[in-house]
Amino acid sequence: MEVKNLTCIGCPMGCFLTVSIEDDRIGVEGNTCPRGADYAKKEVTNPTRIVTSSVRVNGADIARVSVKTASDIPKGKIFDCMKEISAAQMDAPVSIGDVVIENCAGTGVAVIATKNVPCKK
Amino acid sequence: MKQHDIVVIGGGPAGLAAAISAKKAGVSDILILERDSTLGGILNQCIHNGFGLHTFKEELTGPEYAARFIKEAQDMEIPYRLGAMVLSITPEKVITYMSKSEGLVQISAKAVILAMGCRERPRGALNIPGFRPAGIYSAGTAQRLMNIDGYSVGKEVVILGSGDIGLIMARRMTLEGAKVKVVAELMPYSGGLKRNIVQCLNDYGIPLLLSHTVVGIDGKDRLTGVTIAQVDANRQPIPGTEIHYDCDTLLLSCGLIPENELTREIGVEMNRVTSGPNVDDKLQTGVPGVFACGNVLHVHDLVDYVSSEAALAGANAAAFVQNEKTAEKTHKVVIKAENGVRYTVPQTIDVENMSDSVTVRFRVADIYQNRSVCVYYDGKKVSSRKKRVLAPGEMEQVVLKKNSFADYPALSEIVICTEEA
How far apart are the C-alpha atoms of B309 and B294, rounded to whole Å? 7
pLDDT 10s digits, B237-260: 999 999 999 999 999 999 999 999
Alpha-carbon separation of residue B187 from B200, B212, B303, B389, B394 (angstroms): 19, 8, 25, 18, 15
Residue B191: pLDDT band (50, 70, 90) is confident
Q: How far apart are CA B52 and CA B57, in angstroms?
A: 6
Phi, psi of B172 (to 5 degrees): -60, -45
Residue B76 φ/ψ region, left for φ over 0, alpha for ψ in the -120 to 50 degree band, beta for the rest: alpha
pLDDT band at B325 (very low <50, low <70, confident <90, very high): low
| Set of chain A residues whose Cβ sits within 8 Å of the Cβ of B62 | 66
Counting residues of chain A whose pLDDT is more than 70, the rounded percentage is 99
- pLDDT, tens only, B87-111: 999 999 999 999 999 999 999 999 9
Q: Which of A50, A80, A95, A114 to mutate to test the interface with B (most CBs of B within 10 A)?
A: A114
* CA–CA gap between residue B385 and residue B121 (Å, rounded): 34
* Cα–Cα distance, A77 to A100 (Å, whole number): 17
Point out the residue among B147, B388, B394 whose CB comes nearest to the CB of A64: B147
Strand order in the sheet with A16-22: A2-7, A16-22, A25-29
Question: Which tops the pLDDT comparison, B71 or A6?
Answer: B71
Distance CA B398, CA A43 (A): 34
What is the rounded CA–CA span in Å between residue B336 and residue B376? 10
Are A53 and B46 spatial neighbours (Cβ–Cβ below 8 Å)? Answer: no
Vertex B359: Cα angle to B356 and B362 (nearest 5):
160
Nearest to B368 by CA among B391, B345, B347, B401: B391
The secondary structure of A8-59 as a DSSP string is --SSTT--EEEEEEETTEEEEES-SSHHHHHHHHHHHH--EE--EEEEEEES
- Segment A58-117, tens digit of pLDDT: 999 999 999 999 999 999 999 999 999 999 999 999 999 999 999 999 999 999 999 999
Question: pLDDT tens digits for B335-363?
Answer: 999 999 999 999 999 999 999 999 999 99
d(CA B227, CA B177): 23
Backbone angles phi, psi at B340, to 5 degrees: 95, -15
What does the mean pLDDT of chain B come to?
Answer: 95
Nearest alpha-carbon partner for B398 in B348, B345, B356: B345
Dihedral sign (CA B169, B175, B177, B182):
positive
Nearest CA in chain B to A13: B389
| Closest CA–CA distance from residue A8 to any residue of chain B (Å) | 8
Q: Are B201 and B195 in contact (CB under 8 A)?
A: no
Pair B401, B357: CB distance under 8 Å: yes
Give the pLDDT of residue A33. 86
User: Hey, what amino acid is at B268?
Assistant: V
Report the pLDDT value the prediction gives residue A12, as an integer from 0 to 100: 67
Q: Residue A54: its chain B contacts at CB < 8 A?
A: 47, 146-147, 150
pLDDT of residue B350: 94
Taking the CA atoms of chain A, what radius of gyration do you get in angstroms? 19
Give the per-residue pLDDT at B326: 64
Q: What is the pLDDT of residue A1?
A: 80
Residue of chain A whose Cα is closest to the Cα of B387: A13
pLDDT tens per residue across span B122-148: 998 988 888 899 999 999 999 999 999
| Structural domains of chain A ordered from first start | 2-45 (no CATH), 52-113 (3.10.530)
Domains and CATH numbers, chain B: 1-119+256-322 (3.50.50.60), 122-254 (3.50.50.60), 329-421 (2.60.40)
Measure CB to CB from residue B175 to each of A63, A68, A82 and give the nearest one: A82
The pLDDT of residue B359? 96
**Which site among A31, A32, A115, A116 would you substitute to test the B interface, given the most B Cβ atoms closer than 10 Å to its Cβ?**
A115
The answer on pLDDT for A8 being more than 90 is no
Alpha-carbon Rg for chain B, nearest whole angstrom, is 23
Q: Which chain A residues are within 8 Å of B64, Cβ to Cβ?
A: 96, 114-115
ipTM value for the complex? 0.90
Question: Can you state the angle between helices B303-322 and B62-75, rounded to 10 degrees?
Answer: 20
- Residue B327 has a pLDDT of 66
Check: CB of residue B31 under 8 Å from CB of residue B19. Answer: no
What HEC string does B311-371 produce?
A: HHHHHHHHHHHHCCCCCCCCCEEEEEEECCEEEEECCEEECCCCCCEEEEEEEECCCEEEE
Set of chain A residues whose Cβ sits within 8 Å of the Cβ of B175: 51, 53, 78-79, 82
Contact in structure between B335 and B36 (CB atoms under 8 Å): no
Q: In sequence order, what are the beta bridge partners of B96?
A: B88, B106
B120 contacts B256 by C-beta, under 8 angstroms: yes
Hey, is the C-beta of B142 within 8 angstroms of any chain A C-beta?
no
Task: Give percent of chain A above pLDDT 90.
Answer: 65
Burial of B102 (0-12, 13-18, 19+ CB in 10 A): exposed
Instruction: Give the pLDDT band of residue A56 (cuts 50, 70, 90).
Output: very high
